[in-house]
Amino acid sequence: MIILDVDPGIDDSLAIVLALKSKLDVIALTVSSGNIEVNQGSINAIKACEMAKKDIPVYKGATKPLFKEYVDSQDTHGSDGLSGMYYKVKKEAMDGAIDFILETIKANPYQVTIVAMGPLTNVALAIQKDLETMKQLKELVIMGGAAKIHGNCSPVAEYNFWVDPDAAKQVFEANLPNVTVAGLDVTYDILFSPNMREMVRQFGGELAEYVHNITQFYVDFHWAQERTLGCIINDPLLVAYMIDRSVLEAFDCHIDVETSGICIGESVVAFDIPEAYLPLYPYNAKMCMKVDKTKFFDIFFETIFPEHIEDYRLMKKRGYIL
Amino acid sequence: MRKIIFDTDPGIDDAYAIITAMKHPDIKVLGICTVAGNKGIEFTTTNAQKLIKLMNYDCQVYKGAKDSLLKVADDAGATHGIDGLGGVPLVYDKSSLSSISAVDYILNTVKENPNEIEIIAIGPVTNIALAIRKDKETMKKIKAIYTMGGGVYRGNITPVAEFNYWYDAQATKEMFELGVDVPIHMIGLDITHKSIVTNNDLEFMKMTGGELGQLLYDMILPYVEAYWKFSKYTGCVIHDLLCMIYAIDQTVCPKEAIYHSHLEVSTTGITIGQTVVDIVDSWKQPKNVYVPLKVDENKYKELFFKIVFGEEVAEMYRKYVLS
Amino acid sequence: MRKIIIDTDPGTDDAIAIIAASKQNDFDILGITTVAGNKGIDITTSNALKLIQLCTLKCKVYQGAEKSLQDQSHLMGDGDDSHGSDGLGGIVKLDYNLKDLSDKHAVDFILETVKANPNEVELLVIGPVTNIALAIKKDFETMKKVKAIYSMGGGIHSGNMNPVCEFNYWFDGLSTKLMFDLGEFVDIHMVGLNVTKPSYFSANDFWFIRLEGGKLGRVIFDIQSAVMNTSGLKEEGIIGNIIHDLLTVMYMMDHSILKTIRTKVHVSTKEYIGQTIADISGNSLEKENAFVAIEVDIKKYKDSFIKLVFGEDVELLYQNHVKS
C-alpha cells in the first residue's frame, strides 16, 4: 500500500501518472504546500489522476512549512505549478491528510509505504501527532537533499529540504525504520531531453499532450537558469525505484538537516560512520548515490505509454534518446 | 625570490610543506607563525623550531594564537603522533623563537614589503583573522594567501567541515572577507583527497631520499596507519603539501578547474566550519576565493620529489613509480 | 593430504613461500631440506629452523649440499645483500631450536621418504637443485618414483644473473640439467622468471599486509621491506618485490594460477650456465620433459595468497581497497 505525498509540481505530476499507470498499489495522494501552495497543488494532483484514468482520494495537508516562511517555486514550475496550464478538474480534494496517513497506518501496520516527493511537512506533522504509529510504516521513501553535489536553492541546499528544513530534521530525528532518500546526487542525471519531449508529442493522444505541455515551462526555466537543454525530473525516479529497486543503489548513512544560517536546508550526510560514533550518530536512512538512468527511462516510458513501447525502443536503438 | 610567511600548526603535513618551501631555490621563508590546531600552541611552536634546526634554515618562529576565536576543541588528537611530528626525535635551538607575536610579525612584515608577501596558511587561520582585526588596511597589502582548508563537496571532521576551518570558523569567515581585496586560494579536501601519496611513493622516497627521505618516511607512519584505519587508503593525504606545491606551481591544477567564486563560511549549527562555495555563481556576490577542484596528482608528487630530492630522483620517480 | 618435501635456501622469498605452504590444509610437509644458494648452507639451514618455529611446523630440517656440482659461488659479489645480512632481510629477529635439525643428510632423507611413499611425494624445489641432482646420482630408480617436482628457476627469454640466466639454475647448471633429465619419468613444473617477474608485490601490497596482517603480516613486511630497495628497485626497477618462490607454491596449490605448456627444456652447462631453452610454440617435436609456465593470473595469485594466509575478510578488504 502506497501513499504518495506530493506538491505537484511538474515532476510530481509525472511521478503520479507513472505510479498510477504502474502496478503499484497506490491508495491515496496527500498534498502539502511546496512547489505550489496546497490548494492549487491538490487540483494538479487530481488532474494527474484523471490523466492516468484512476480515481483515488486526494487529501490536503500542510499549507505552509513548520516555522520557516513559505517560498513556492512558481519560477520553476509556472504560476499554477504546471507551466500555467490552469487545468480544470472534476472533483475536489478532501481535508485531513495527516489523520488519513495515521489512520491508514493504524489499520494496516507495517504495510504502508509513504513516497514523499515534496517538503516533509506532512510527514513531520504526522510524526508530531503520533510517532508510535509512524514507526509502523513499512517504508518511507524521500526525494530531497544532496550529499556530495551542488544544491539547487543554495550551493548546499535542495528545494524540498530547504523549503521546510525543520520538518526534514524532525523526520530524520524520528529514526523511522526503512527510510530511503534520493536527492540531487542521483536525480541530476535524469534529464528529460527535448528529443524525449518531441517523441512524446509524436506519440499523440491526450496523455502525451499533457506530458508535453506541462514540461514546457520547466524546459524554459532550465535553459534560462543554467543553460541545460531539457529538464530534470526528480520525482518520477522514486516511483521507478518502487517499481524496480535496481534503479537506485542506496548506502547506509546518518542524515541531519541544517535549520539556520548560511547552510539552511542542507542535508548533512555521513557515510561509513566509525563504530565509536554510532551511538551518537546512528544510521537513520539510506542515501541513494548510484542510478541506472537507462533503466529509469525504460520504466518511465514503457509504463506511461505502454502502447508505444515499440516506438520507444526504436528511438532508443537509433540513438535519438539516451 | 618569493617572500613567504608560514602560518602553521606543525603537524606532519605542515612539516612536509615547510621543508618543501625551504628546499625551493626561488623561495625565501621569512618567518614561521604558529597557531594551535593539530596540537596545542607549545607543541606546534617547538615543532616549527625543530624544522628550522633540521633544515638549518635562517628564519625565526613567531608564536601566535593559543585559542581559536570560536573554541571548539583542543587538538587533532593522535593522528600526528604524540608530539605532532610522528615521534621522530628532533632537536631545536631556543634562539629560533622570536619575542614578537605572530600577529605583529605578519603586520610589520607586510608593511615593510607591501604587495610582496605571500602567506601560506596551513593551520587554523586565527592569526590571520586577528591581524585583520588589528589592521585591515595593512592586510590588504598581502600579495596572496594560500590556505589549506574547507571543501566544496566534503568534510573530514564532520561530513561537511574540514578540520582547520572547523577549528576556527569565525576566523575563517573573517579571513575570506579579505578575499575581495587579496587573492585567496583555497586548497580544500576535494583535491587533497584526490592526491593520495601511496605507500609505493613513500617506499620510493625511503629508498631514494637519503637521510631526509628516511626521516620524512618515519615521520609519516602514524598517518599511514590512521588513513588505512579510517579511510582504507593505501597511503595518505598530505593536505598541506598540496597547498605548498600549488603555491609554487599553480599548473598542478588545470586552469579551467580553478573556480573564482563567492565563498561563505558557516559559523553556526551542525554545519559550523563548512565552506559554502557558489561555484555556479547563482548568488551573484563578490568573488572572494579561488578554488581548484581538479588536480594532476602525478605532477604534484613529481614536483615534490624534484624540489626536495632533486631532478635525478624525480626522473626515477617518473620511470619506476609513475610508469 | 599431499606429501611434500620443501627443498630450499631461505632466502626472503623462500620464507614467504614456506609460510604459505604451512597454511595450506592439505599439505603434509614431511621435511625441509636445505641447500646453499641465496646464502651459505649454515645460514640457509638456520633460517629453515627459524621458519619451522615461526610456522609451528612439526617436521624437521635436513641439511643438504654445501657446494653445487658446478660451483659458481665465486662469481657472486662479496657484498651481495639482496636477501639482507642474514638472508631474511636483516630486520626480523626470529628464534630457532636445534632440536628441529635432523642429523640425517638431505639427500638420504629425500630418497628414504620417496622409497617409503612411492609415487606419492611431491618436491617443492625453490633453491638451487643440487640436492635433487645428488639424489638422482645416488639412486635414479627411486627418484623416478617422485610424484612431481615444482621447481622455481630458469625462464623463457628472461634472466636475473644475466639476460638469459636465473639465479637458482645458474648457481648449479649441471644439477639443473640432471633434474630435467628425470623429467621423462616425473612431472616437472618449471616456474621461471617470465612469470614471476610480472607478478611482483608492490609496496602498497606489502603495506596492506603489514596493516591488516597482524603479527605475521608485520614479519612478512619486515622480511620484504629490506630487500625492496636492493632487488626491487635497483635490479628490477619496481617499487616492491618479486616473491618468485611464492608463485611456485601458490601454483602448486592451484594450477589455474599459471598456464603451462608441456615441452622440452634444455639446460645450458656452458657459457650461459643454467640458461633454460625451450620451444613454447606448442609445435616442438622433441621429447617433452617439463611443464613450463608461460602465463600468470596475477590477480588470482595475489588474492589467493592473501586469503590463504590472512583469511577471507582480509582478502575482501584487499580486493576492495588496494591498488597495487
Distance from C-alpha of A173 to C-alpha of A164, rounded to nearest angstrom? 15
Distance from C-alpha of B51 to C-alpha of A60, rounded to nearest angstrom? 68
What burial letters (b/e) apply to C50-80, b meaning 16+ CB within 10 Å? Answer: bbbebbebebbbbbbbeebbbebeeeeeeee
ipTM score: 0.88
pLDDT in tens, C256-313: 999 999 999 999 999 899 999 999 998 888 999 999 999 999 999 999 999 999 999 9
- Chain B nearest-CA residue for C201: B200
Distance from C-alpha of B166 to C-alpha of B156, rounded to nearest angstrom? 10
**CA–CA min distance B226, chain A (Å):** 13
> pLDDT value at position B261?
98
Q: Do B280 and A226 touch (CB under 8 A)?
A: yes
pLDDT in tens, B262-284: 999 999 999 999 999 999 998 99
Under 8 Å between Cβ of A172 and A265: no
**CA–CA min distance A256, chain B (Å):** 8
**CA–CA min distance B168, chain C (Å):** 33
Q: Give residue B72's pLDDT band: very low, low, confident or very high (50, 70, 90).
A: low
- Chain B nearest-CA residue for C237: B320
Q: What is the DSSP letter of B97?
A: B
Distance from C-alpha of A254 to C-alpha of A284, rounded to nearest angstrom? 5
pLDDT in tens, B137-193: 999 999 999 999 999 999 999 999 999 999 999 999 999 999 999 999 999 999 999
Question: CB within 8 A of A318, min separation 6: which ones?
Answer: none
**A273 near B CB under 8 A:** no
Residue C4: which H helix or E strand, with range?
Answer: strand C2-8
Q: What is the DSSP letter of A144?
A: -
Statement: residue B76 has pLDDT above 70: no
- Chain C nearest-CA residue for B206: C229
pLDDT in tens, C231-244: 888 888 899 999 99
> pLDDT value at position C227?
86
Tell me which residue in B158, B268, B277 faces A260 most closely, judged by beta carbons: B268
Q: What is the DSSP letter of A164?
A: S
Instruction: Enumerate domains of chain C plus CATH numbers.
Output: 2-321 (3.90.245.10)
Residue A133: which H helix or E strand, with range?
Answer: helix A131-134
**B160 near A CB under 8 A:** yes
Torsion of CA C296, C297, C298, C302, to 10 degrees: -120
Mean pLDDT computed over B20-34:
98
Statement: residue C77 has pLDDT above 80: no
Under 8 Å between Cβ of B43 and B83: yes
Instruction: Enumerate domains of chain A plus CATH numbers.
Output: 2-189+232-289 (3.90.245.10), 191-231+295-317 (no CATH)
> pLDDT value at position C322?
94
Among the residues of chain B, which ranges form H helices? 12-23, 41-55, 102-112, 126-134, 136-139, 163-167, 169-177, 189-192, 199-208, 210-231, 239-248, 297-309, 311-316
Domain B2-322 belongs to what architecture? Alpha-Beta Complex (3.90)
**B159 near A CB under 8 A:** yes
pLDDT in tens, B79-114: 677 788 888 999 999 999 999 999 999 999 999 999
**CA–CA min distance A274, chain B (Å):** 8
Q: Give residue C176's pLDDT band: very low, low, confident or very high (50, 70, 90).
A: very high
Q: Do B266 and A148 touch (CB under 8 A)?
A: no
> pLDDT value at position C159?
94
How many angstroms from the chain centroid is the CA of residue B77?
18
Under 8 Å between Cβ of A249 and A28: no
**% helix, strand, coil for chain B, step of 5:** 50, 15, 35
Q: Do B264 and A149 touch (CB under 8 A)?
A: no
Interface test with C, best of B199, B233, B320 (most C CBs within 10 A): B199
**CA–CA min distance A272, chain B (Å):** 9
Of C52, C48, C27, which Cα lies nearest the Cα of C39? C48
Q: Give residue B75's pLDDT band: very low, low, confident or very high (50, 70, 90).
A: low
**At least 3 CB pairs under 8 A between chains C and A:** no
Interface test with C, best of B201, B202, B234, B320 (most C CBs within 10 A): B234
Range name among B14-23, C120-129, C280-289 with the lowest pLDDT average = C280-289
CB-based burial label for B66 (10 Å; 0-12, 13-18, 19+): middle
Under 8 Å between Cβ of B263 and B176: yes
> pLDDT value at position B178?
98
Cα Rg for chain C, rounded, in angstroms?
18
Distance from C-alpha of A48 to C-alpha of B124, rounded to nearest angstrom? 54
Interface test with C, best of B197, B198, B206, B301 (most C CBs within 10 A): B198
> pLDDT value at position B73?
67
Statement: residue C78 has pLDDT above 60: no
| pLDDT string in tens for chain A (322-residue length) | 999 999 999 999 999 999 999 999 999 999 999 999 999 999 999 999 999 999 999 999 999 999 999 999 998 899 999 999 999 999 999 999 999 999 999 999 999 999 999 999 999 999 999 999 999 999 999 999 999 999 999 999 999 999 999 999 999 999 999 999 999 999 998 999 999 999 999 999 999 999 999 999 989 988 988 888 999 999 999 999 999 999 999 999 999 999 999 999 999 999 999 888 999 999 999 999 999 999 999 999 999 999 999 999 999 999 998 8
Statement: residue C14 has pLDDT above 70: yes
- Locate the domains of chain B by residue range: 2-322
Pairing of strands B196-198, B235-237: antiparallel
Amino acid at C292: V
Question: CB within 8 A of A310, min separation 6: which ones?
Answer: none
C-alpha cell at C104: 640425517
Mean pLDDT computed over C54-60:
96
CB-defined contacts A:B, below 8 A: 59
Distance from C-alpha of C105 to C-alpha of C255, rounded to nearest angstrom? 31
Among the residues of C24-121, which ranges form H helices? 41-54, 106-116
C-alpha cell at B236: 595518505
When the pLDDT of each residue in chain C is averaged and rounded to a whole number, the result is 94
CB contacts, 8 Å: A261 with chain B: 266-269, 271
> pLDDT value at position C86?
86
Among the residues of chain C, which ranges form H helices? 12-23, 41-54, 106-116, 130-138, 140-143, 167-171, 173-181, 193-196, 203-212, 214-227, 244-253, 298-310, 312-321
Of A113, A86, A146, A177, which Cα lies nearest the Cα of A269? A146
